[in-house]
Amino acid sequence: MPDTNEIKKTTFSDDKVRIKDIAVLANVSAGTVDRVIHNRGGVAPDSKKRIEDILQELNFKPNRMARVLAIKKDYKLVVLLPEAAQGDYWWDIIKGIKRAEEEVSDYRVKTEVLQFNQYSMESFATLAQRLLDLTPDGVLMAPFFRREVLKLTKELEERNIPFVFVDSNVESVNCLAYYGQQSHQSGYVAAKIMLGNLEKSSTILLVHMMREGGEAIGSNQTAKREEGFLAYIEKYSLELSYQLVRVNLHAEDESGNEAHLEEIFRQHQNIRGIIMFNSRIYRIADFLEKRKIKNIRLIGYDLLERNVQYLKSGVIECLIAQRPQLQGYYGLTALARRLAFHQPSKPVCYMPIDILFKENINDYKVYPFDVD
């Protein structure tokens, strides 16, 4: 809890006290302060008292509420994401969006979620057209299928509809904001973990999961992760120290994938490391466990429930996480504030590169932005 004397020393003009200033002083999230100001509940009693004391001490007057009350328009936000079941990566992004919906409800913002089959370009294209037919005021999307994304975003720009990307970015497009990982850097970090004390002359498999049409799932993001991985190898002149083998698996062909992996293991007798550049590393873990293959350093992305199970059991060495809940939360909040208050957003907002091992996974916070 901040010292009351320190609060008194802090000087703000009446029109410059911001919710995030209060949040820093109270050591809570801006969303928690927002809930106290709007009396929406859901805040721990000690945190609520701490915030109320600071608001009183600073004579805070929420001018923003006056602006909210003056809003005459209802805003429609449309979210375009892959289909997801509980425990999936995209489910967590939706959880963050739902959290944000609660906090921007006073801004007269309504949200509709459209979910496409991430393995089907036709599914994405169909829902992209439905999105346009809904005439949204703002859009949050995962930019799958580059060609279709470029068509959709061109139409949104022509209609002057702001949009936010989550998970991966398309640099050539003028989005309001991108919330996701710095993919190149995360691949660089993955290589550093993979190659730490890994015996020289080892074979390392670089695995991609492919979707319909031969495109890698998360193609823009996974390509940049692999670029970062290879950049580390190049920087330290390790090209001749390890044999790198690229492996393409197919999202909807489990038996074919197993046969392909068996052939890869027959051809290469010294496989000591495997990295998959998307969230489906559990499929490799399944394969290794069924065949009782050990002594493989297995690295993947994202805290899917099956990934975490294999991490805890030791089959997966390391998972790199990117806080999908925060991506959804910040993405929707940025759109709502742009529409309600014409508030600008930072164009590129990178999520932390979280490195999880079985030794620290139990202490990892699902919602690190709000610990009330």
Phi, psi of 353 (to 5 degrees): -95, 100
Phi, psi of 136 (to 5 degrees): -75, 160
Nearest to 183 by CA among 141, 140, 226: 226
Give the orientation angle of helix 305-313 with respect to helix 281-290, to 10 degrees: 50
Q: What is the pLDDT along the chain (372 residues), one digit of tens a residue?
A: 445 444 444 444 444 567 777 888 888 888 888 888 777 777 888 889 898 888 887 777 665 555 555 556 889 999 999 999 988 899 999 999 999 998 888 788 899 999 999 888 899 999 999 999 999 999 999 998 889 999 999 999 999 999 999 999 998 899 999 999 999 999 999 999 999 999 999 999 999 988 766 666 656 788 899 999 999 999 999 999 999 999 999 888 889 999 999 999 999 999 999 999 989 999 999 999 999 999 999 999 999 999 999 999 999 999 999 999 999 999 999 999 899 888 888 999 999 999 999 999 998 876 545 433
Nearest to 295 by CA among 277, 313, 270, 276: 270
The secondary structure element, H or E, covering residue 299 is: strand 297-301
Give the orientation angle of helix 19-26 with respect to helix 30-37, to 10 degrees: 110
Full set of structural domains in the chain with CATH? 4-67 (1.10.260.40), 73-180+323-350 (3.40.50.2300), 183-321 (3.40.50.2300)
DSSP secondary structure, 189-214, as one string: HHHHHHHTTPPTT-EEEEEEEE-GGG
| Distance linking the first and last C-alpha atoms of the chain | 13
DSSP category for residue 234: H
Exposure of 208 in the CB half-sphere (CA atoms within 13 A) = 19
User: Taking a C-beta distance cutoff of 8 angstroms, is the pair 78, 342 a contact?
Assistant: no
User: Taking a C-beta distance cutoff of 8 angstroms, is the pair 220, 169 a contact?
Assistant: yes
Nearest to 81 by CA among 151, 164, 159: 164
DSSP category for residue 357: -
The CA radius of gyration of the chain, in Å to the nearest whole number, is 23
Query: What is the C-alpha separation between 34 and 38, in angstroms, rounded?
Result: 6
User: Taking a C-beta distance cutoff of 8 angstroms, is the pair 145, 121 a contact?
Assistant: yes
pTM above 0.85, yes or no: no
User: Taking a C-beta distance cutoff of 8 angstroms, is the pair 315, 298 a contact?
Assistant: yes
